[in-house]
Amino acid sequence: MLEKMESVNVDQVIEEFETITKDAEKIQRETLKRILEENGSAEYLQNLGLNGRTDPESYKACVPLVSHPDLEPYIRRIADGDNSRILTGKAITALSISTGTTQGKPKLIPFNDELMENTMQIFRTSFAFRNKEFPLGNGKALQFIYGRSPVMTKGGLRVGPATAHVYGNSKFKSGMKSMQTPYCSPDEVIFGPDYQQSLYCHLLCGLIFCEEIQLVSSTFAHGIVQAFRTFELVWEELCADIQEGVLSSRVTTPSIRASMSKILKPNPELADLIHRRCLRLSNWYGLIPTLFPNAKYIYGILTGSMEHYLKKLRHYAGELHLVCADYGASEGWIGVNVNPSLPPESATYAVLPNIGYYEFLPLRQNVEDQVLCLEPKPVGLTDVTVGEEYEIITTNFAGLYRYQLGDVVKVMGFHNSTPELKFVCRKNLLLSIALDKATEKDLQLSVESAAKLLAEEKLEVIDFTSHADVSTDPGHYIIFWEISGDASEEVLKECCNCLDQSFLDGGYFTSRKTNVIGPLELRVVHKGTFQKILDHHVSLGSAPNQFKTPRCVGTVNNAVLQILTNNVAKKYFSSVLW
């Protein structure tokens, strides 16, 4: 029997969102109450002396701020199969592996049905706002997503990336249909064991259904750019597969081959059409709308560390809109993009007050606290100040209580009474040797300035990262670049100088001037080095679509540092006289 799928009622979803954001403070109190009632019997909360109280004041007084290492012993017990009420009222049955690109090692985080519900609420809400601006027709979505089959802990819990838990849930598949975006690839492709093979087949499925594709997406911009960089290399092979109706021998996984054989039939006309479309392009500009003429937009997380890929994404997108997806983490969702027509550089996320309890730790102390040497205190969701930056603290339905997420956000305004946040950076991603404190954003801006010199040579920085090297005296910054082709020595020396001069942080300036920090070093790495870093993270259990290049690699992340150092092709030191 054919399944009848109700479409999302866009107006109703928007109305619900408007209602819950009108009195966000009340909704926050109610949400905290629900979380504490459902989980009050958990050992973690029992030990903190809440004694059944569920009001924010008692909660803040009894429950300490924590970060992941504080919870590790509890999560380890859960992973090992202790199914007593440790962090939650109901036993946790799945754990998410977050990419752990900050600390170099993946983190395990509890996942449960409530987080799945939150995910679908976020997806529905942002779809409703998006569809008002960019209505989709009936068709399919080309989604570069990778599920991975979960592994089991010795205690019998499913462990996998958070996105894999989502893609493996039947609510995701039906949700995508109700949002007019059923994905075009078979499940066997999404859950294939080798993501390079899955990526090839995603591209092939996209081409087979090219006239039906309504949108192209991945979790993060990196996944879309990586897919079309691969397309540039394999497009003729893809056309040959369509021409002959035979899947390339590069795909060896039997389940993927079997599922693809159901949709891949010889189609010389389509192969010829795609071939002609590709040959029409100049340097692949506008590739995505050329291949998928009915696509309405490109969709994914495009902010934060993804901003570096925007230039390339815009190149592939031509005139097609880039729409920014939402803001969340394996630890839970935070906000939804309710202004989808804004460019990624201005994107904000309105916090959903009913999916978690949120606090905001000010990064700037107020004057009174400074005088009294008091630590800054977290403020509630509706007490944040426009223009200020905060670290987010989240309490969710899956056993995280007052958990410091490590993300810095800036309050840009309010939607009704809930704040609209701009993602600023990861808090711990800092290059720091002496007085200097260069954030992820400072690094990105510095790379952007220097990359302009490369662009004059028609070259681009494919990816980049950094390291604060204190093994030398004085210590110095090392920037690693992977470049799309060969640049002259002269240009690379200029790029190195430009990188050095573009860190605008006062601490860096002073430290460089007094030689407390030595000349910046640019190390150009061989092509494919950043792919090796992605492969390394995938081998540790991360999902390729959740991958974020670590923008600063510390010595704790030795494996990645080794990959970088083993692949250095050229080195330059800044010759700027400060």
Minimal distance in Å, beta carbon 348 to ligand AMP? Answer: 10
Query: Residues 530-549: x/- map of binding to ligand AMP (CB under 6 A)?
Result: ----------------x---
Q: Name every residue whose Cβ is closer than 8 Å to that of residue 377 and which is 6 or more positions away in sequence.
A: 361, 362, 369
Between CA 42 and CA 124 the distance in angstroms is 31
Between CA 496 and CA 520 the distance in angstroms is 7
Q: Which pairing describes strands 297-301 and 357-362: parallel, antiparallel, or unpaired?
A: unpaired
Q: Which stretch binds ligand AMP (CB under 6 A): 125-133, 202-210, 322-330, 353-361?
A: 322-330
Encoded tokens for 557: 């992340």
Binding-site size for ligand AMP (CB under 6 A) equals 14
Encoded tokens for 563: 């990959």
Q: Which of 511, 542 has the CB closer to ligand AMP?
A: 542
Count of alpha carbons within 13 angstroms of residue 299, beta-carbon side: 25
357-416 residues near ligand AMP, rule: CB under 6 A: 405, 407
Q: Which stretch binds ligand AMP (CB under 6 A): 1-9, 27-35, 325-333, 475-483?
A: 325-333
Contacting residue, 111, 327, 397, 401, with ligand AMP by CB under 6 A? 327
Q: Is 361 helix (H, G, I), strand (E, B) or coil?
A: strand
Query: Residues 461-500: x/- map of binding to ligand AMP (CB under 6 A)?
Result: ----------------------------------------
425-444 residues near ligand AMP, rule: CB under 6 A: 426
Q: Which of 447, 499 has the CB closer to ligand AMP?
A: 447
Minimal distance in Å, beta carbon 347 to ligand AMP? Answer: 7
Between CA 207 and CA 476 the distance in angstroms is 48
Contacting residue, 27, 329, 393, 483, with ligand AMP by CB under 6 A? 329
Minimal distance in Å, beta carbon 19 to ligand AMP? Answer: 24
Task: Find where tokens 């989240």 sit.
Answer: 394
Between CA 357 and CA 396 the distance in angstroms is 7
Q: Which of 143, 303 has the CB closer to ligand AMP?
A: 303
> Residue 256 has what DSSP assignment?
H
| Residue in the shown chain whose Cβ atom is closest to ligand AMP | 304
Q: Which of 175, 328 has the CB closer to ligand AMP?
A: 328
> Residue 320 has what DSSP assignment?
S
Q: Which stretch binds ligand AMP (CB under 6 A): 25-33, 181-189, 323-331, 439-447?
A: 323-331
Contacting residue, 164, 203, 301, 336, with ligand AMP by CB under 6 A? 301
Query: Residues 96-135: x/- map of binding to ligand AMP (CB under 6 A)?
Result: --xx------------------------------------
Minimal distance in Å, beta carbon 566 to ligand AMP? Answer: 25
Q: How would DSSP label each residue in 125-180? A: HHHHHHHHHS---S-EEEEE----PPEE-TTS-EEE-HHHHHHTSHHHHHHHHHTT
Cis amide prior to 474 (ω within 30 degrees): yes
Question: Looking at the DSSP assignment, which residues form a beta bridge with residue 568?
Answer: 525
Q: Which stretch binds ligand AMP (CB under 6 A): 47-55, 208-216, 297-305, 441-449?
A: 297-305
The yes or no reply on residue 42 touching ligand AMP (CB under 6 A) is no
Which ranges of 191-346 would DSSP assign to H, the alpha helix?
Answer: 195-208, 221-244, 254-261, 268-279, 287-291, 310-317
Minimal distance in Å, beta carbon 103 to ligand AMP? Answer: 11
Between CA 383 and CA 388 the distance in angstroms is 11
Give the footprint of ligand AMP on this chain (CB under 6 A).
98-99, 301, 303-304, 327-330, 405, 407, 423, 426, 546
